[in-house]
Amino acid sequence: MTRSPLAVPTGDDAPARGPSDRWPVALVGVVALVVVGVAEPTAARSAAAQVWPPFVLVTGLLLVGMVADADGLFGEAGRLLADLAPGDGPLFVGACLMVAVVTAVLNLDTAVVFLTPVLVHAARRRASPDGPLVIACILVANAASLLLPGSNLTNLLVLGHLRLTGGEFVARTALPWVLSVLVTGLVVAVGARARPGGSPGMPPGPATDASGPPLRLAGPGLAAVVASVVLVLVLPDPALPVAGVGVVAALVRARTGGRSVRSMAASLGAPLLVALFGTAVALGTLGRTWSGPAALLGHLDAVGTAAVAAVASVLVNNLPAASLLAARTPPHPFALLVGLDIGPNLFVTGSLAWVLWLRAVRTCGVRPPTARAVGLGSVSAPLAMAVALAALALTGAH
């Protein structure tokens, strides 16, 4: 039986290979690590100590997300969304809520990798345009990554200076998170209404029933999701415990059927993670040996801090930017996070999530609506950052 290109990838189906899947990409990170390790060994060790926990945590969360996907949790959510939404408007709102919640709980990279095909499936199941849902997936994911420490690697890079638990972090970011998600979703909704239709090259077709994996509530996926959320909220340093949960869940899932360990390892995008890790350590080393970034942030207010963070994210990606700008304790840490988390919606170079989104969209047989997404992101990002900063000022956090 021929597999539908619109089906949610399951089992041992590997994602489409791209530049992030090729190990030569990792040489960028390896070379950067060697250079700074030789030139500034003390600063490099300090930078690596700050950078490794976020990368270990996101690896664990990606593994948890893969197991949850293999257990049919995401696919079932997409089917329920498509079947229960009475129209395109409720379908879009439900999709945005799903993306925001999965991003907050399991990390934005997990959200775009697994929910992009789910949303395409939901749109096709209803014969609705897939463009608005596909664009909302990346833009809402970036905007929704402000809520929990594990929602975005950049949060963890900055959180190391704050010494806050996950619950204390949420108390400061809840209102900015809600407002930034609302504004981003509204901009995408209005933009989609102004230019209706599916994503370029994929006009709405007849409803399909591309089936995903059967739901397994008794599988390790649901238990791993719950355990990860509790660990992130309760522990000040949840990286290793969450990674342990992800590894155990992946091994259990491999032994009981479904995705193999090899296919899950391939889906992690390890070469790109290595490249980003090395670059982040290199820029973190630079931030420790050069006072320029700290001096710049010291002369800026919350708005200026967020703007610099957003521009730096677009120039070098938000993970290396966070390592550079948070090498020393920033005077406005939450404003810095607003720029690092929401600012990447300005352009495709802003975050790792953009790269993963492009790959996931192509895997679904859809031509990525990149230009439209960037256009809407260039509008939504400044507005979402403004309301988030206003909320921080209102609550006294900056």
pLDDT digit string, tens, across residues 261-281: 667 666 677 788 888 889 989
* Residue 208 in this model has a pLDDT that exceeds 60: no
Per-residue confidence at 205, pLDDT binned at 50, 70, 90? very low
In a domain, 390, yes or no: yes
In a domain, 313, yes or no: yes
Mean pLDDT rounded to a whole number for the chain = 84
Name residues whose C-beta falls within 8 Å of residue 388's C-beta, 6 or more positions apart in sequence. Answer: 146, 176, 177, 179, 180, 338, 342
* Helix (H/G/I), strand (E/B), else coil: 298: helix
The mean per-residue pLDDT over the stretch 231-238 comes to: 80
Query: What pLDDT score was predicted for residue 162?
Result: 75
The mean per-residue pLDDT over the stretch 360-389 comes to: 92
In a domain, 2, yes or no: no
Query: How far apart are alpha carbons 175 and 163 in whole angstroms?
Result: 20
The phi and psi torsions of 195 (rounded to 5 degrees) equal -140, 75
Query: What pLDDT score was predicted for residue 199?
Result: 43
Query: What pLDDT score was predicted for residue 198?
Result: 42
Query: What pLDDT score was predicted for residue 210?
Result: 44
Q: Which of the pair, 53 or 308, is modelled with greater confidence?
A: 308
Structural domain of residue 148, as residue ranges?
24-395
Query: What pLDDT score was predicted for residue 398?
Result: 67
Query: What pLDDT score was predicted for residue 9?
Result: 41
Q: 13-22, 76-85, 112-121, 294-303: which has the highest mean pLDDT?
A: 294-303
Give the distance from CA 378 to its chain's centroid.
18
pTM comes to 0.81
* Residue 8 in this model has a pLDDT that exceeds 60: no
Query: What tokens were used for 57?
Result: 């945590």
Query: What pLDDT score was predicted for residue 241?
Result: 94
In a domain, 316, yes or no: yes
Query: What pLDDT score was predicted for residue 3?
Result: 36
HEC profile of 59-123 = HHHHHHHHHHHHCCHHHHHHHHHHHHCCCHHHHHHHHHHHHHHHHHHHCHHHHHHHHHHHHHHHH
In a domain, 49, yes or no: yes
In DSSP notation, 321-358 reads HHHHHTSS--SSHHHHHHHHHHGGGGSTTS-HHHHHHH
| Domain total of the chain | 1
Query: What tokens were used for 124?
Result: 């096709």
* Residue 207 in this model has a pLDDT that exceeds 80: no
* Helix (H/G/I), strand (E/B), else coil: 152: coil
- 138-162, pLDDT tens digit by residue? 999 999 999 988 899 899 888 876 7
In a domain, 3, yes or no: no
In a domain, 311, yes or no: yes
Range in 25-29, 191-195, 331-335 with the lowest mean pLDDT: 191-195
- Provide, rounded to the nearest whole percent, the portion of the chain with pLDDT above 90: 44
- Provide, rounded to the nearest whole percent, the portion of the chain with pLDDT above 70: 85
Query: How far apart are alpha carbons 87 and 239 in whole angstroms?
Result: 41
In a domain, 18, yes or no: no
Contact in structure between 353 and 272 (CB atoms under 8 Å):
no
